[in-house]
A and B are shown apart, each in its own frame.
Chain A
Amino acid sequence: DAKTTQPPSMDCAEGRAANLPCNHSTISGNEYVYWYRQIHSQGPQYIIHGLKNNETNEMASLIITEDRKSSTLILPHATLRDTAVYYCIVRSNTGTASKLTFGTGTRLQVTL
């Protein structure tokens, strides 16, 4: 699996955009970038995923660089409920299975 690198923590003021970076410099051509978030003591929640093009849904936007070596998750108007650990993951095939390998993520703290 491609390794991802994220900053351990970030702060964001409520109402502002939160931009969470992720490096995945060893990503392969068929590997998707996924973002999940985890609120304390709950299961991770899917946010968004993409391959090459930028993606947007009701939760967030995903910007992937042209060389695919890095990406940014954007929460356009962060609220206190967005405080969580955000995981950037690259999903790859290993033989007949595809697996997600989670790192330690970025702890986003949204403040008043």
Chain B
Amino acid sequence: DGGITQSPKYLFRKEGQNVTLSCEQNLNHDAMYWYRQDPGQGLRLIYYSQIVNDFQKGDIAEGYSVSREKKESFPLTVTSAQKNPTAFYLCASTTTGRATNEKLFFGSGTQLSVL
């Protein structure tokens, strides 16, 4: 079945450590997104990419980095510069990311906690 796979489901980070969240999709979508969700809050956009080897900052990009070396993969690194990383992270994709009538498909999320 086509879809978006996020791993791991749960991740723990030590102080000063960088961690990388994986996101893979087999939907042949061009556009991919990373969102952060804090308890009781909506989703906030971290980074998005509309094409391989290109990505743009979202609303809360500080302390995060991404890469888009392959169409199907969009990993997110939470760096030590992100002082409050504990949150639920969601990856999503859509066909092109350029039209207003495209559905967004989401992965099942990664819960990141700080030890």
A109 to B31, CA, bound (A): 33
28 contacts between A and B (CB under 8 A): A30-B100, A34-B103, A34-B104, A36-B104, A42-B108, A43-B4, A43-B6, A43-B90, A43-B107, A43-B109, A44-B43, A44-B104, A44-B106, A46-B103, A46-B104, A49-B101, A49-B103, A91-B102, A93-B100, A96-B50, A96-B98, A98-B98, A99-B45, A99-B58, A101-B45, A102-B42, A104-B42, A105-B42
* Interface residue tally for chain A (C-beta within 8 Å): 27
Q: Tell me if A51 counts as interface (CB < 8 A to partner B).
A: yes
* B42-92 contacts to A (CB < 8 Å): 42-45, 48, 50, 56, 58, 88, 90, 92
Complex: A62 Cα to B44 Cα, angstroms: 25
Q: Please tell me which one of the listed residues A36, A45, A91, A96 contacts residue B100 in the complex, with CB atoms under 8 A apart.
A: A91
Bound Cα distance A75, B31 (Å) = 30
> Residues of A at under 8 Å CB distance from B?
30-32, 34, 36, 41-46, 49, 51, 87, 91-93, 96-105
Number of A-B contacts (CB under 8 A): 65
9 other A-B residue contacts (CB within 8 Å) besides A30-B100, A97-B56: A43-B107, A44-B104, A45-B106, A49-B103, A97-B48, A98-B99, A99-B58, A102-B43, A105-B42
With A and B bound together, what is the CA distance between A105 and B40 in angstroms?
A: 9
Which of the residues B88, B104, B109 comes within 8 Å of A100, measured between beta carbons?
B104
Mask, B27-38, CB within 8 Å of A = 1, is 000010001000
The reply to whether B106 and A43 form a contact with Cβ atoms under 8 Å apart is yes
Give the 4 A-B residue pairs with the shortest CB-CB distance, closest first. Answer: A43-B106, A102-B42, A102-B43, A91-B100
Q: How far is the CB of A32 from chain B (nearest CB, A)?
A: 5
Question: Is B97 in contact with A98, judged by CB distance below 8 angstroms?
Answer: yes
Do residues B103 and A103 form an inter-chain contact, with CB atoms below 8 A? no
Question: How far is A30 from B45 in the complex, measured between Cα atoms in Å?
Answer: 22
Which residues of chain A have C-beta atoms less than 8 A from B111's C-beta? 41
| Chain A positions within 8 Å of B103 at CB level | 34, 46, 49
A43 contacts across to B, CB distance below 8 A: 4, 6, 90, 92, 106-109
